[in-house]
Copies of this chain bind each other. A is one copy, B any other.
């Protein structure tokens, strides 16, 4: 087995370097959720390819931590390796530090006293490394080395850092000039008592510069850093990626260009008093570069302002052009979805449905989307999970797992696209034929949760943590729950996951304000049986202003019928039925002018009042 061979090679390096363990997180130097192949170290060493997970290898054992979305997938992928699966947020699961404390103590040879652990400081945020250092210290004083990448020596065919060309994102879609964005960022930095900042998040850089790229699967970003001071702006990027029109634009905006690898030097030569480094965004290596400056020479000392990057929240509040773009993208996506659902309806409840497979319907849907104007890509890997596969939260059908559909049960279909004018994200769960009572009840509970979020009115500045329970209360009364968040922001032809605002059980101190997009996607997953999720992307808009302040509401941007077949009508409140009927009327009115006669007839039935 490949993985075991790689572990052997790694342990040889560890013994040479006197390392007790190596930690492999899942991110890149930019704290990306989806990373270029070059940075898939954790996947290379463990075989687990989910978007979130941490592999830890000691001289005698190995373990992989991931969250509930990936429990089933990880179990599959780790089979046959020595990795033990560690389920995050499940009672009894040790933290990485606790586990290392035990493993290193237990398995320490009497003549070996190595208690150093390594993590690549470039691929971990300041917060992560600092927390890890503190946690490890409590475990008999285990220390952490951060300047060593053990794979450098053994990952021979490691893919290069991508070099795809960057392109200009037209102002007609972006809605705000780079010049004005940088002025707003500088103003926000002054309010935080900082002279400048290092931007590392790839989507923040793309947003600021009104540029896009294709370096990362599904995310239209390009690998780079952006250093803003009170006087200058410097983009650190492999210059081969910049076509002449992009170079001209950067020049016109007075933005300097330096090589990607020069960012450390850039920080060393940054001569202002303060710099903002978002400790959740900037990697530990670069943070150390700034922190160590003062040690050499007090005159060159730069104070670090550790605060959230102001770009995060700016980017999440969409301007008029962006909102127009979102609505246009959603219209196209809705047309593609309805054409797909109409096509699928020809198979529902019929034996011929077994001609279709999960991968097949993904291809069909993607091809319908690709016919739409301004289509660029999918926005994430489609999740088409039939039956028990629907209970695997981040299931991606592969030739090994792909199964034919049957004329019964539920198909969970979570998909989205990148259009030049906006990004989409939609989940529908579709009855393929007769359903069990359990399937209908679970479906209706999820739908109730979805609608309660749609109906919610709330004071401007409320957090998603406050609202989250509206999606869960109906299912909690039945002892059901889902362990993922209820919703996330969506970028403008950018990453489909955009923060920091979210709906989730955990605390996120990010106020919801008008102009933000956010998904509404509760679900229930019964392992080995089926999964249900219903998702629209919403826009936050003003509701009313009273003596108690400004109140906000949600507007559904997604345009696609929600399957009524599984609904148990008596479980819905009158206000929930009214919302569903109004939503369906709106979907029909908006989409039908763009559909042929047959599709329109199908949509009319799909959107008929419950």
Contacts and interface: CB of A to CB of B under 8 A. Distances in A.
A545 to B, nearest CB: 8
Interface stretch (A58-66, A435-443, A454-462): A454-462
Interface string A286-328: 0000000000000000000000000000000000000000000
Given A138-B193, A469-B467, A477 B505 contact: no
Interface stretch (A3-11, A212-220, A275-283, A546-554): A546-554
A266 B221 CA distance: 60
B546 A479 contact: yes
Contact of A465 (B465, B476, B479, B545): B465
Given A458-B476, A476-B458, A573-B573, A481 B549 contact: yes
Contacts of A546: 479-480
B466 A468 contact: yes
Nearest to A574: B573
Size bin of chain A's contact surface: 35 or more
A463 interface: yes
Contact of A507 (B456, B463, B467, B479): B463
A470 interface: yes
B138 A551 contact: no
A468 B507 CA distance: 13
A146 interface: no
A592 interface: no
A545 B481 CA distance: 12
A84 interface: no
A473 interface: yes
Select the residue from A138, A463, A477, A573 with max chain B CB neighbours within 10 A.
A477
A350 interface: no
Select the residue from A455, A459, A466, A544 with max chain B CB neighbours within 10 A.
A466
A544 B481 CA distance: 13
B505 A476 contact: no
A509 interface: yes
A545 B480 CA distance: 10
A470 B457 CA distance: 12
A466 B544 contact: no
A426 B470 CA distance: 27
